[in-house]
Amino acid sequence: MSRDYYAILGVRRDASPEEIKKAYRRLARELHPDVNPDPETQERFKEVTQAYEVLSDPEKRQLHDLGGDPFATAGTGGAGPGGFAAGFPFSDIMDAFFGAASASRGPRSRARRGRNATIRVELDLSEAAFGTTRELVVDTAVVCATCSGEGTAPGSHPETCDMCQGRGEVSQVARSWVGQVMTTRACPQCGGYGTVIRTPCPECSGDGRVRTRRKMKVRIPAGVDDGAHIQLAGEGEVGPGGGPAGDLFLEIVQRPHAIFERRGDDLHCTVAIPMTAAALGASLTVETLDGPEEIDLRPGSQSGQVIPLYGRGVQHLNESGRGDLLIHVNVEVPTHLDEEQENMMRELAKLRGEEKPPGKFAPGQQGFFSRLRDAFNGR
């Protein structure tokens, strides 16, 4: 025996077919001419390929183990050492580089998943806060009622492709420097489906679906925010060939509110009060999402003060409880006084000793000369 094919692949004589295939794939990646084009490596690649051809064939392997020549009966279609025998499994070389993806795919289904769709839904603040039900009109693709998604005219059905005999692919054998190789591609007549539609459905032109408008009611959960997306599984477009529908996404757009500003699940608003109410205190009626509500304004309230109303904000999404309503107080100082009002204000200033206000500076609000002095003093 001139060659020890086990030694060439680096496997034991009792190696399993899987071990032999694994060894061949590893060597094929290392020695393939596209990776190592030098002549010496090409010769080594031919030896490895020939060894795999013998050891992967049970009959040739048995003849080799008995000391015979596996290529003695190859005839004109075979090849001696350094060549490929006729019918060599070229797919194994492809598997070594591309894995199982290079294997025969077979016919593919005409039914494919439909596309997802997105529609905008505008909500008022109260609808977003507490949830609502909307009836939507959706322009989408549905299964053709005439052919039930098959794509053929009534009374007919897809026919087996006479070019690929229903396999969805055709093979071509060509000779190269390594011998005969076989390549496989999608059938050009049926496009890889394995069947052809001779008489398309007049309603959908063979697509298996038609476009239409349908109405649907959807529930908007409480607490959704502006920009949120709600996924409705299986409510999108039906796929070609009557395939499963994609998903429908609702993009939430919250309209601006005249009073409230939303920040997360909290609401903010500003209440303007006269300075007399701020000084003396008062009872105010304020608007909330639940309706008017009374609040007590303490004497001496200042601009910028925040009055919280707990649990009067937006419902937490998918949780119990609500955010808060935060009321910002803005004290209004009159810009115009009549003579009587002015006299009363002067009298009040006199009583409070504020005829010449001291003009105290709060921390961080010093005048220009104070800041200049601090800079020179190194403070």
pLDDT digits (tens, 9 = 90+) for 316-334: 999 999 999 999 999 988 8
Per-residue pLDDT band for 181 (boundaries 50, 70, 90) equals low
Q: Is the pLDDT of residue 158 over 70?
A: yes
- What is the domain class of 117-158+197-254 according to CATH? mainly beta
Q: How many CB atoms lie within 10 A of CB 157?
A: 13
Q: Residues, the chain, total? A: 379
| pTM for the predicted model, two decimal places | 0.59
Q: For the domain 5-102, what is the CATH code?
A: 1.10.287.110
Ordered alpha helix ranges (H), the chain: 5-9, 17-31, 39-55, 58-65, 90-98, 125-130, 275-280, 339-351, 368-376
In angstroms, rounded to a whole number, what is the distance separating the alpha carbons of residues 88 and 73? Answer: 15
Per-residue pLDDT band for 350 (boundaries 50, 70, 90) equals confident
- Are the folds of 117-158+197-254 and 261-333 the same? yes
Fold of the CATH domain 261-333: HSP40/DNAj peptide-binding domain (2.60.260)
Q: Is the pLDDT of residue 40 over 90?
A: no
Per-residue pLDDT band for 287 (boundaries 50, 70, 90) equals very high
In angstroms, rounded to a whole number, what is the distance separating the alpha carbons of residues 270 and 286? Answer: 10
Instruction: Give the start-to-end residue ranges of the domains of the chain.
Output: 5-102, 117-158+197-254, 261-333
In angstroms, rounded to a whole number, what is the distance separating the alpha carbons of residues 218 and 212? Answer: 19
